[in-house]
Structure 1
Amino acid sequence: MDIIDEIFKVCAKHNVKPTKHCIFVKIAKQKLYLFKEKSLIAEYPVSTSRNPPSCVEGSLGTPWGLHKIDGKIGDGLPLDTVFRARKPDGLLSEQTDEEKKKNLILGRIMRLRGLEEGLNSGGKFDTYSRYVYIHGTNQEDKIGTPNSHGCILIGSQNLKKIFDETEDGSIVYIEK
């Protein structure tokens, strides 16, 4: 089955209308695929969680299933902007050496909200309350290998393209 057909099938199962842009993340391949009106327009390497995929709060695993972008943060800011609690907190160059060793949230944030009750939405399975994002990282050399605490990490230039191309509310399907 084609990737976009899989997304549409899952959307139909959950009575969710597919959006103009759909994002598909394949954890096993550490890849993100961007579709526009059923056509693949871009493919990018990403990093998902170091821990096994998981929808459970506190697991630090990347949640799977049907999601949507619910909040886009950072439009117009420099791509080396560091975010803490979804607020800009200076540039990467302004951080201490100790901070630069951490896997920081950089550039843009696309916050995810799970759309499957009991899997990635509600209770201890809630992607949104876990603060799972698609975002940039200062550890771009590790993209393509598992390196996050549950988020989907992507290179800043690729992140900007996706951020600028997609609308808030766009469908994101993460395959376990």
Structure 2
Amino acid sequence: MSFDRSTAPQIHISLDRQILTLVNSAGTVLAEYPVSTALNGPGEQDSSGCTPRGEHYIRAKIGGDQPICTVFRGRRPTGEIHTPELARQNPGRDWILSRILWLCGLEPGKNRGPGVDSFRRFIYIHGTPETEPMGVPMSHGCVRMRNADVIDLYERVSAGTAVVIR
């Protein structure tokens, strides 16, 4: 069975506003969440630390059976739950928490293919520590969300959901 993108909700991410909006097929807003995209700004190049623009889809959903603030490394739970103490013990760690929505680009030469591939760059929508600011670009390229927000979004979307980053 194929995924029908024409009737499914879509995710729109505004880099300027630092907002993720979930809309239905009629364009009605279902939810809005503050996010944090790349400190280095928008861009598609490998190793740029930038958030890729354009049309994407959710290639994989990871972590649905994990508790809030589960720590992931390499898309696998580490067995840790993020706490302020764990954060103090690991300064500078780029935390990926709670849920992962792994994005895949749809535009060859822009966000898909050699040198620009969002999937191979491991671009995710994921949870982050509550101490990290939202509405301010601070990530290494991914789209960071509050843990409760990414869990809520995770429950509302499916693998195949369209994601547009502008």
TM-score, with normalisation over the residues of structure 2? 0.90
Indicate which of 67, 80, 88 corresponds to 1:97: 88
Choose between structure 1 and 2: higher helix proportion: 1
TM-score, with normalisation over the residues of structure 1? 0.86
Give per-residue Cα distances to partners, 1:108-155, cap 9 Å, x unaligned. 000000000000000000000000000000154411100100000011
Partner of 1:120 in structure 2? 111
Indicate which of 62, 67, 79 corresponds to 2:51: 62
Q: Percent identity?
A: 36
Aligned residues: 160
CA distance in 2 between counterparts of 1:57 and 1:139 reads 28
Decide whether the 8 Å contact of 2:5 with 2:161 is kept in 1: no
Deviates more, 1:16-25 or 1:103-112: 16-25
- Residue 51 of structure 1 pairs with residue 40 of structure 2: yes
- Residue ranges of structure 1 left out of the alignment (5+ in a row): 1-15
The Cα of 1:81 is off from its aligned counterpart by 0.3
Relative to structure 1, the CA distance from residue 71 to residue 101 in structure 2 (aligned partners, 3 Å threshold; closer, same or farther) is: same
Task: Note the aligned Cα RMSD (angstroms).
Answer: 1.7
- Residue ranges of structure 2 left out of the alignment (5+ in a row): none
SS at structure 2 position matched to 1:126: coil
Indicate which of 152, 162, 166 corresponds to 1:171: 162
